[in-house]
Amino acid sequence: MPSSLAERITKGWYGGAFWLHFLRPLSALFFLITVVRKFLYQRGFKKSYHSPIPVIVVGNITVGGAGKSPLVSYLVKQLQGLGYAPGVVSRGYGATNDLSEATLVSHDSLPSEVGDEPLMLKRKLNCAVAVSPNRAKAIELLLSQGCDIVVADDGLQHLAMARDIEICVFDSQRLWGNGRLLPSGPLRESLSALKRVDYLVFNGGLPSREIAPLTSWLRAPCIGMHLKPENLVSLSGGESKPLHDFKGQRVNAIAGIGNPERFFNTLESQDILVERFPFVDHHDFQISDFKGLNDEPIIMTEKDAVKCRSLSVDKNINNAWYLPVDAQLDDNLAQQIVSDLKESGRLT
């Protein structure tokens, strides 16, 4: 796959590319814009929507995937197990339809209508999922569905939505790259923003050496998260098989996510011979993307599958599968959050 400018910049952020120093004046401008924006909200010149039910934001301060959606899925399931009725709100990134009015995601929605991640979550979870760039409208829609807790998939920088709990997710392999703000680094906010968050979750486990300098001023507990691969599922539906059934076999691995290497490494850890096909995050798959592949099985991520299924990839290419993952945390984060919300009087 040809490397785009975005891919080259991303590699530079995490690889220490020297030429990124030339972008530092733009990072200074970005910093100024974020400071002014926060000031406007803090002083009331711009208003934040305050939900009548608790809002838990799962986001990050770095560009690209860190494992937010698996954590959202984990929280929803855990909260349901505690007797609550959570709903999910999302911006609907990747949708080409107008989402100015909030939309409820259904199992039959198209990625172009609601975005790939919200559709994946809807098909994975038994809860209401609402999408709109205007999160207030999305929350109001969840209220009409009887939800009593909101879990926001992304939105840590969406100051127009007030929140009760902030969870910042990092990829424990990439962390914060070169530690600089956009565009000379991957940070949407400076690391000092971590002072305000309630929990830090590290996808891939706690990188104790790297986070040790932060613990002196962090108030947020640090929690390790691991993504456990589940059984592969056929894109044609119904059939599933254990990942180890492909041990020693060569496969075409497709990944249009923030960190494709994590997905490829997961497959290789099962002694699968991987032919890598990375795409940019939220890639708009076309059937032409699969032309020219060899006859080996295709394995892709669950997020990519919602788009490829709508292309009827399974009808054009035999032996196509996707790999669901299940988030496992070192601590009972959901129970801790419920305790926090009860202590603040937001839950009874």
User: Residue 240's CB: how many other CB atoms inside 10 A?
Assistant: 12
Q: Give yes or no for residue 169 having a pLDDT over 60.
A: yes
Whole-number Cα distances in Å, 316 to 282, 339, 341 = 22, 50, 49
Q: Provide the residue type at 309 as one letter.
A: R
Query: Which positions ≥6 away from 340 have C-beta within 8 Å?
Result: 164, 165, 198
Share of the chain above pLDDT 70, in %: 97
Q: Which of 15, 12, 69 is nearest to 203 (CA)?
A: 69
pLDDT at 312: 66
**Cα 250 from chain centre:** 28
Average pLDDT over residues 51-80: 96
% helix / strand / coil in the chain, to the nearest 5? 35, 20, 40
pLDDT tens profile 275-285: 999 998 889 89
**Mean pLDDT, the chain, integer:** 92
Average pLDDT over residues 122-127: 96
- Residue 274: strand pairing partners: 251
User: Residue 258 — very low, low, confident or very high, per pLDDT cuts 50/70/90?
Assistant: confident
Beta strands in 246-296 (DSSP E): 250-255, 273-278
Q: Provide the residue type at 143 as one letter.
A: L
d(CA 118, CA 56): 16
Tell me the pTM.
0.94
User: Residue 1 — very low, low, confident or very high, per pLDDT cuts 50/70/90?
Assistant: very low
Q: Which of 176, 177, 197 is nearest to 59 (CA)?
A: 197
128-137, 217-226, 308-317: range with highest mean pLDDT: 128-137
Average pLDDT over residues 92-111: 90
Q: Provide the residue type at 49 as one letter.
A: Y
Query: Maximum distance among all alpha carbons in the chain?
Result: 61
d(CA 21, CA 7): 17
Contact 118, 135 (CB under 8 A): no
- Torsion, CA 211, CA 216, CA 222, CA 224, rounded to 10: 30
Lowest mean pLDDT among 49-53, 154-158, 216-220: 216-220
Domain 55-226+329-343 sits in CATH at 3.40.50.300
User: Residue 192 — very low, low, confident or very high, per pLDDT cuts 50/70/90?
Assistant: very high
Residue 24: is it exposed, middle or buried by C-beta count within 10 angstroms (0-12/13-18/19+)?
middle
Q: Would you call 182 helix, strand, or coil by DSSP?
A: coil
pLDDT at 201: 97
Phi, psi values for residue 216, rounded to 5°: -70, -25
Average pLDDT over residues 274-301: 90
pLDDT at 27: 97
